Structure 1
Amino acid sequence: MLSTNFEQHLNQLLKPEQIKDFCPNGLQVEGKKEINKVITGVTATQALIEQAIKEKADALVVHHGYFWKNESYVISGMKYKRIKALIENGISLYAYHLPLDIHPVLGNNAQLAKLLSIEVTGPLELENPLSVAIQGKLATETDGESFAQLISTQLNRQCLHIAPPSNKHIKTVAWCTGGGQGYIELAAELGIDAFITGEASEQTTHVATEMDIHFFAAGHHATERYGAKALAEYINENLAIEAKFIDIDNPV
């Protein structure tokens, strides 16, 4: 498949024009004109690039790419080494940040819901259908300790659980993969029982305990593995291209 056609297909699928982001979505580094093998992953690190080179991939599709808002325009040091390796090996880099969070089927949020058997009921920001935080409900209510164990087991990562003093049972859940801890107050204001994300901030403990909401942080990387994995599966099933998800582990 031509690289231009591949990008067009990804853009039609993920619709990056619908949401304002902190980085360019789509093609970030141009490589070969023809794409026959794709590697997907969470972040375009040197380790993932080296794996793509080893796999003789023509393209790399990630959630976290380059050229973030407010970062230096200078291509030097770590960024230079990464981009140099991509160019020297003719590997195109495509990145989809928020579009890969919010996609209703392939997105990180949707895939986390599937993994934890949460029924999606709508956006957390009620007036924003493209909210990067969403809410849902469990088929059967559960206690906080059991839900923490489920998250840890399914993500293969010990999650942080901050229980409110009431230690109430959980039926309704809100979540935002990655660094979405700032949404916990909105979830609490809406009377939701629990909030899940990747990271925690110092104030998160106080919000959870004072606003009576369970909080679970299971790792930025661990909560965002599944969109890139689902995208590789989609490419294999729908395009005449071989795709493989490679997980470069990250404890954060």
Structure 2
Amino acid sequence: MADRDALLRTFDELLEPGRFRDYGPNGLQVEGRGEVRRIVSGVTASLALIEAAIAAHADAIFVHHGLFWRGQDGRVTGWMKKRLAALLAHDVSLFAYHLPLDAHPELGNNAQLGAKLGLRAASRFGEQDLGFLGGRADGGAFAGAGDLARHVEQSLGRTVTCVDGARGPVSRIAWCTGGAQGYFEAAIAAGAQAFLTGEISEPQAHYARESGVSFLACGHHATERYGAPAVAAEAARRHGIEHRFIDIDNPA
């Protein structure tokens, strides 16, 4: 059994939220019971995840995408009411960490995605150093962007949108999980031959063709499935409590 506030201190110690300018509050977003025996992790604090965590008898939930974001309406109606009502009725705490969870050098979304894909980071790039730049952990190269895309599809189990700007082997790869398509220009400037993220917007296809740097959109949810369970598992290990990752499928 762990004390809720001690668990919060562990998350803050691991992820250092004070270092980041973020789009919403990091840390304890909804206060539940003070004692935590079981924690569930997931990507997003959706009603489906909250209900699954309650069914699993969780005392706390740890996610990447929490409930509160800058610029929200602020009224507790509709989907927000349903999510909060479920958490409060069952006295379940909600912990959420956004950019700090992306950035952790070992347990974060980018580090864990790199490990899943067999990539090793050599440096960082982009705003707040969130982007990772490196190559294959075995020192090799992919035959081309298509070869890299097939590898990602096999690793993540989903279709990848690939705009092939590169010609020839790809060894310098940049990546940043989720909705980081805005980091593409910084990846190009950093010397990447290919950039992996979750989503693509209209401009990136043109940038890829004109710069000779390939762009791979691998799924927002699909690229961010790995950081939350890694961090929650580490905190659970330190406090001697149970942890379970629940993956709520999302095609985005």
TM above 0.5, yes or no, is yes
State the identity as a percent: 42
Deviation readout 1:159-183 (Å, 9 max, x if unpaired): 111101x533101011110000111
For the 8 Å contact 2:41–2:229, the answer to whether it is kept is: yes
The 5 Å alignment of 1:1-252 reads 1-125=2-126, 130-138=128-136, 139-142=139-142, 143-164=144-165, 166-252=166-252
Task: Name stretches of at least 5 consecutive residues in structure 2 with no aligned partner.
Answer: none
The answer to whether the 8 A contact 1:188-1:212 is kept is: no
TM-score, scaled relative to structure 1: 0.95
Query: Is the 8 Å Cα contact of residues 11 and 235 (structure 2) preserved in structure 1?
Result: no
Task: Say whether the 8 Å CA contact 2:141–2:169 is kept in structure 1.
Answer: yes
Is the CA contact 2:39–2:236 (under 8 Å) kept in the aligned structure 1?
Answer: no
- Structure 1 residue 190: deviation in Å? 2.8
Partner SS, residue 84 of structure 1: helix
Deviations 1:7-35 (A, max 9, x none): 11111111101111111000001110101
Contact 2:178 2:223 in 1 (8 A): yes
In structure 1, how many angstroms separate the alpha carbons of the residues matched to 2:47 and 2:156? 24
**Per-residue deviation, 1:229:** 2.1
SS of the equivalent of 2:212 reads coil
Calculate the TM-score normalised by the size of structure 2.
Answer: 0.95
Distance across 1 between alignment mates of 2:203 and 2:56? 43
Which ranges of structure 1 fall in alignment gaps of 5 or more residues?
none
- Aligned CA-pair RMSD: 1.2
User: How many residue pairs get matched?
Assistant: 248
